[in-house]
Structure 1
Amino acid sequence: MPDSQKWFRPRRSIHRRLSRCWASGVFRAMVTQNQTLPQVKIATTDAEREAIFRFRYRIYIQEMNVWLPHTDHRRQHVCDRHDESALLFYIEDQGEVVATLRRNMVDIDNCHPEWREAFALERFAKVAPNTLSVSGRFMVASRFRHSSMAARLAIAAYRHGREEGVRFDFLLSRFHQIEMYEHLGYRRYVNNYLDVNHAFGLMAPMVCVGEDVEHLRSVGSPFAREARRFANRASEGAWFSEQFPAPPEFAPARTLSPERRWSQMCRLLGGPPERAIRMLQGLSEADARALLKHALLHRVRAGKIIVQRGDLLGSLFIIASGAVALYYPGNFDRPPDVLSSGECFGAEGILASCCAVGQAVALSEVYLLVLPEAAVAQHRHKHPQVIHHLRANLLQEPCSRFLPTAILHS
């Protein structure tokens, strides 16, 4: 059977491995051991590709309500020029696509300019020509988002990449998904990138060094086990670390103890978070620790637009250090609201489940604590009184002036 038509059969031990490694992570395995697992496939026919494009439409347009170019509303599908040469991985359930991931091999001589800029591809091409790829359009149906499906899809793509000689795989991550990708083995390494073709705001370029087994093991990546099937050069990780030295604050979250993460926050904020962060005032240290458990530290350079009006948020942004200017509707002819350490923006996602109502611009180098909206939603079920208090504090934020009164008081 040709390589392009391979079906990836999950190993029997995958649920045990994922349950053990990811018991408290984003991809918590919740499928029973004896359940038959659907296979990961690569689309080889026009019908399969069309089904994937229609699945994207359901996720992006109908579920997330995102505006995207290259959307065909008549046919209800989403595809773009990158799909022409891409491998499309997917999983079906009862004849319906429920998960997909796109992978493009990179020809550096004919590379899309935005990829060349976003990922600093020239630096990689000097040592690894014809071994680079870019991943994207990674999505899973809502009913499977707490299963092992996303993990199995990513593992299959990693395995296929190694079989095809891929040494570096790149992607653009929304800030609240950075921790998820770090767990897979990707890492931040260059400055953020704003893709004008997406309503996702500033994105973090990330790369997986496929042969750096030591790093994969250190973050508990499921790729580490797969990597043992291939020859791995120890020099690969050393070269990357030398070329892109990571500051200590960007260590993958899973490599830091809770105490170290808390100390890091205290140092940047200049005091205990429950006192230094305005939206947490009135909460106990224990409540603040529990709420900030999944907050990720991320840096943004001066002058960068962090979010624009209409962007899908996905996160609450807490300023750990630096200053951010907020421009809201009708406010462009007068000075913006200027926020500093301990203040936040992006609260409209939590208060009203809506897109950004204003624009946030970094006035200086800014360190942000990125708190995923999903983490707040999960916390609501366990500690409703904490979220009620948090919501009351967030109603004092500037964005609340531009949200519907009915929503704010519901």
Structure 2
Amino acid sequence: MINNYQKAMSCAAESSENSIEIGIAITPSEKREVYHLRYQIYIEEMSKQLGNTDYVNKLLYDELDEWTVLLYAKIGSELIGTARINIGTLAQFPQEIVDFLSLDTFQDFYTEHSDHKFAYTGKLMIAPAYRSSSALYLLMVKGYEVFCSNQIQFAFGSSNFHLLRLYEQMGFRRYSKNFVESGYGLLTPFILVVNDIDHFRTVRSPFFRIARKRGAVNMQAVEWFHANFTKNSPVINSQIVTEEELWTVLCKRLASPPTEAIAILHKLSVSEAKKFIHCCGAYVQCDSGDIITNQSDVSYSYNILISGRLKSLTFHRPVKEYTIPGQHFGANGLTELTKHTEDIAAMDSVEILVLSGLAFQRFFHSHPEIAHKIVQSMISLTRSKPLRIK
């Protein structure tokens, strides 16, 4: 089961970091090439239904592309990745983005400079054959350099749950409620406090090497952010929490050891389960009404209910609910790529453990014995008769 997924996600060639060129798409032909890569990944690979899609020419772009810094990654003439950065004042961003990201809250920091600029990063993607290469990190580092050269204090973005670990590894932080963007589903907003060097050091961000060489920087934005968002935050950052801390939280919420409550952990020892969850998991909170899985969307994670109640919006007779702590819901995106078969929504405030399939690929290489046990558990669960919850 895991072999096909590994093959799809592995790097087609052992390309060195020096062979990957990072640049900015400027000409119409360069931009068109980027728009086509977006189409291949979002429409053809992920089966998303998005507005502003040119199905005839197989291109994907929107109004933000009219004033963006459009980054690309290439090996030779082959485009293998891209990212987009918009830099502007509050008034320049669409109101929908201002609302989703709570940008007006951050405008309060700039009481004397109403025209201060924010950065909004998005459309970050790597071609499947190069997702094990350094392309993504090189794109992100280039993006950080763009932030610095434009004197950006706060850079924003959003992602689906399976990518939260990745962005937290970079140094981004979750800071606000989830929101829904048409075509993309439920997203979590995140922020990079550009001068937060101590945080970059703590999470071993690739930005730390650049940040520490910048010399004296203005720390007022860092201090303001921590005073207003970090203190008493309920967010469990995947890169800051320790194995023991995460395990303790899960034991308390599940009212039993995760090795007993979560089926795919049954074959693991406690120490193995701790390692697996800590390396692949993200602890996520959702509000009542949040639709966590969308029917026909490709799953890139394996979701576990920790607390609260979920309800299927697809199956009504009988009503299908998920109420058992430790219960899996949605399609398996951990060891293979499958599509969700139902829309599943939170009935009240819920906490879930999102086990990322992308993180599992790296885990498979670093901890093969544990990973093989997970794969075997998955095979056993697939063969067994599913439990119907009413």
TM-score by shorter chain over 0.5: yes
1:39-50 pair list within 5 angstroms: 39-50=21-32
In 2, the alpha carbon distance for the partners of 1:210 and 1:78 equals: 29
Query: Of the candidates 367, 372, 384, which is equivalent to residue 384 of structure 1?
Result: 372
Q: Residue deviations 1:148-187, cap 9 Å, x none?
A: 2211111111111211121111111111111110111110
Query: Of the candidates 340, 351, 354, which is equivalent to residue 367 of structure 1?
Result: 351
Greater shift, 378-387 or 175-184, is seen at 378-387
1:198-237 pair list within 5 angstroms: 198=184, 201-227=185-211, 228-229=213-214, 231-237=216-222
In 2, the alpha carbon distance for the partners of 1:54 and 1:81 equals: 16
Letter in 1 for 2:190: M
Give 5+ residue unaligned stretches, structure 1.
Answer: 1-25, 401-410
1:4-403 pair list within 5 angstroms: 36-128=18-110, 129-198=115-184, 201-227=185-211, 228-229=213-214, 231-245=216-230, 247=232, 250-281=235-266, 283-293=268-278, 294-328=280-314, 331-332=315-316, 334-349=318-333, 353-376=337-360, 379=364, 382=369, 383-393=371-381, 395-397=384-386
Cα distance change of structure 1 residues 212 and 289 upon mapping to structure 2, 3 Å threshold: closer
Query: CA shift at 1:249, angstroms?
Result: 5.5
Query: CA shift at 1:322, angstroms?
Result: 1.3
Query: CA shift at 1:243, angstroms?
Result: 1.7
Query: CA shift at 1:281, angstroms?
Result: 3.8
Greater shift, 246-255 or 88-97, is seen at 246-255
The residue number in structure 1 matching 2:4 is none
The answer on whether the counterparts of 1:212 and 1:233 sit within 8 Å (CA) in structure 2 is no
Cα distance change of structure 1 residues 314 and 398 upon mapping to structure 2, 3 Å threshold: farther
TM-score by length of 2: 0.86
In 2, the alpha carbon distance for the partners of 1:349 and 1:160 equals: 34
- What CA RMSD, in Å, does the superposition of the two structures yield over aligned residues? 2.8
Identity of aligned residues (%): 26
In 2, the alpha carbon distance for the partners of 1:323 and 1:396 equals: 22
Q: Give SS of 1:146's match.
A: coil
Q: Residue deviations 1:180-213, cap 9 Å, x none?
A: 1011111000000111232xx3111000010121
Greater shift, 159-168 or 102-111, is seen at 102-111
Q: Residue deviations 1:239-281, cap 9 Å, x none?
A: 1122223556524322233222222222221221011224434
Letter in 1 for 2:379: R
Q: Give SS of 1:102's match.
A: strand
In 2, the alpha carbon distance for the partners of 1:241 and 1:397 equals: 45
TM-score by length of 1: 0.82
The residue number in structure 2 matching 1:19 is none
Q: Residue deviations 1:132-162, cap 9 Å, x none?
A: 0110010112222112221111111111121
Cα distance change of structure 1 residues 27 and 357 upon mapping to structure 2, 3 Å threshold: closer
Q: Residue deviations 1:69-118, cap 9 Å, x none?
A: 22212211111111111110112212121111001123312421221111
Greater shift, 296-305 or 223-232, is seen at 223-232
Cα distance change of structure 1 residues 397 and 301 upon mapping to structure 2, 3 Å threshold: farther
Query: CA shift at 1:59, angstroms?
Result: 1.9
In 1, the alpha carbon distance for the partners of 2:60 and 2:388 equals: 32
Q: Give SS of 2:18's match.
A: coil
Letter in 2 for 1:212: D
In 1, the alpha carbon distance for the partners of 2:373 and 2:332 equals: 19
The answer on whether the counterparts of 1:99 and 1:141 sit within 8 Å (CA) in structure 2 is yes
The answer on whether the counterparts of 1:191 and 1:205 sit within 8 Å (CA) in structure 2 is yes
In 1, the alpha carbon distance for the partners of 2:149 and 2:18 equals: 26
Letter in 2 for 1:46: P
The answer on whether the counterparts of 1:27 and 1:150 sit within 8 Å (CA) in structure 2 is no
Letter in 2 for 1:182: E
Q: Give SS of 2:200's match.
A: helix
The answer on whether the counterparts of 1:280 and 1:390 sit within 8 Å (CA) in structure 2 is no
Cα distance change of structure 1 residues 224 and 286 upon mapping to structure 2, 3 Å threshold: closer
Cα distance change of structure 1 residues 267 and 73 upon mapping to structure 2, 3 Å threshold: same
Q: Which has the higher contact order (CA 8 A, sep 6+)?
A: 2
Query: CA shift at 1:350, angstroms?
Result: 5.2
Aligned residues, how many?
A: 369
